[in-house]
Amino acid sequence: MGVALLDLVETALRVAKQALGNRAGKPDSGGLAREAHIVAHCIRKEEGHTYAELVDRLSLMPAVCDRLGINPDAPPDPTTFYHSFDRYAMYIW
């Protein structure tokens, strides 16, 4: 994995947390942090993957999973990311 991808993840995390403001972090219902969803979408768009390919790729990138709080041995279902894309307001994107 190249340094450029880790730089993208770090930058996207910082910007996502700024955009989310006090809504950053894990939702009350648990699960993946909101900013992790946004960074996953950034990775998907940058590399041109489908949602299923994104999950497969994330399981092969332990450093990225560590930063996003994802267990590489049990990544989220692709539909988790698919549905989260519509969940955030346009100003976040």
The vertex-10 CA angle with 73 and 38, nearest 5°, equals: 70
Q: How many domains does the chain have?
A: 1
In the chain, the amino acid numbered 84 is S
Residue 93 lies in a domain: no
Does some domain include residue 79?
Answer: yes
Residue 5 falls inside a structural domain: yes
Please tell me whether residue 11 adopts helix, strand or coil conformation.
Answer: helix
What is the 8-class DSSP label of residue 31?
S
What range does the domain containing 7 cover? 1-21+29-87
CA angle 10, 56, 69 (to 5 degrees): 40
> Residue 47 domain-assigned?
yes
pLDDT for residue 64: 93
Q: What is the pLDDT of residue 62?
A: 92
In a domain, 72, yes or no: yes
Q: What's the pTM value of the predicted model, to 2 decimals?
A: 0.83
Tens digits of residue pLDDT in 9-40: 999 999 999 988 888 888 877 788 989 999 99
- Residue 92 falls within a domain, yes or no? no
Asked whether residue 44 is assigned to any structural domain, the reply reads yes
In this structure, is residue 35 part of a structural domain?
A: yes
